[in-house]
Structure formats: C-alpha cells, structure tokens
Structure 1
C-alpha cells in the first residue's frame, strides 16, 4: 500500500484499485446500514467504524488481501473457529479476506454486535 496521508475515508478508498476499494466500501456500507448509530472516519490513515469515541471495526487493504478488525482480541478469539472454518486467515486482532470477497452480511453483523456488546 501507499504511504500517502489520506484526508478522508473516500480519499483512502479511491486510492485503491477497484476490487479492493469496492469490497471495503461494501463492508463499510453494510455495517453502517445495519447500525445507523455508527460512523466511519479515518484514523491511523485507514477507515474505522466508531460509536462516539469507541472504535468498533476497522478495515484496511494490504498487498494480497484485505484485513477486517473488530477492535478486540476477545471478539476475534470468540469467532476464531467460525472464521477458520470458513477459510479465513485469523490473526490476534483481525482476519484476512480476499480482495474480491463476497460480502457476508451475517458475519459482519455478528462481529459488530459482539464488539458493541463488549463496549456496553
């Protein structure tokens, strides 16, 4: 990825090739549609979905995959078996998806709900 400093989420997404940008845009849109009280902003130079000052879900593009991060090692651990059984590479705080991922709305909703429950 580029070392550019982005000025907005749209600036970040527009800097990506169409597959990466469209997939991340779709992930963000699905989450914000289901959870209208959340916002998306740029933090650490990548899009982050927030509720007030709490970070709920982050997305980023890497060279060969995309990363989704529910901002919680516990949430990732709780979903690890499910994520690995669906073929995702799981790290401590995130999991990797292919650049042309078919959006799994149920998975995204479950992850966001788990993170929000953790924050409450």
Structure 2
C-alpha cells in the first residue's frame, strides 16, 4: 500500500493509523483489480477510471465515501451497523468495529452498478 503510505503516516494517533492501514489493506486485498490512488488528498479506489470508494481520516472517525446513490441504497444497513451518516458518507468511529461484510457489499455494489460507466462519477 505504498500509494497510501504518506497519507496514513499523517494520521497522528498510532491506533487510528493502524486501523486506517487495516481497512485500506483489507480493501486492496479483497478487490485487487481496483486501482489504489490518492484523489483530493484522500485514499481512493477506482475501477476502469470510475470512482468506487474513498476514505478520509478525521479526529474521531474514518469517513467512507461511496457516492450518494450508494448511500441511499445502503442507508438501512449503515444505520443497523450503528454508523452515523450523511447523504454522501458514513463514519466508522475509531473505537467502532468495522463491519467488513457491509463494506464489501457496498464496494461490490459500486463495481457492478458502474461497470459500464464511462466517466469518473455516476
């Protein structure tokens, strides 16, 4: 995950840094066909040049940004997982467990839904 090394090293709290590394490494391992890159100074995964998911570290949480349409589709699942959310992202508090099954479903949904998408955004 060399592409994210500088970003992750900028997370001050070592426990937060470790959790961010774990989530990013898990994502790269589960979806090796996605391209890992930094976009807007944040770790991002794309597929054939189209946006799939972005991560952003904050003081109290890691934000997951899968796009508005995906947030709408998974709103109930995200709420059931106990994550707070807005219209475009949800937050995994540094002290919360990561629901990797939900994260996997979200990423798989975006890959499938955007398979024929010619642009970066929907």
Deviation at 1:57, TM superposition (A): 0.8
> Does 1:100 find its partner at 2:95?
yes
Aligned counterparts, 1:1-120, within 5 A: 8-16=3-11, 17-70=13-66, 72-120=67-115
**What's the TM-score once normalised by structure 2's chain length?**
0.84
**What's the TM-score once normalised by structure 1's chain length?**
0.85
Q: What whole-Å deviation, never above 9, does each CA across 1:15-72 have from its counterpart, x for those lacking one?
A: 11222222221111111111110121111011101113111111011122210111x2
Query: What is the CA RMSD across the aligned residues, in angstroms?
Result: 1.4
| Conserved 8 A contact 1:68-1:96 | yes
Give the gaps of 5 or more residues in structure 1. 1-7
The runs of at least 4 aligned residues of structure 1 exceeding 4 Å deviation read none
| Equivalent residue pairs, number | 112
Higher relative contact order (CA 8 A, sep 6+): 1
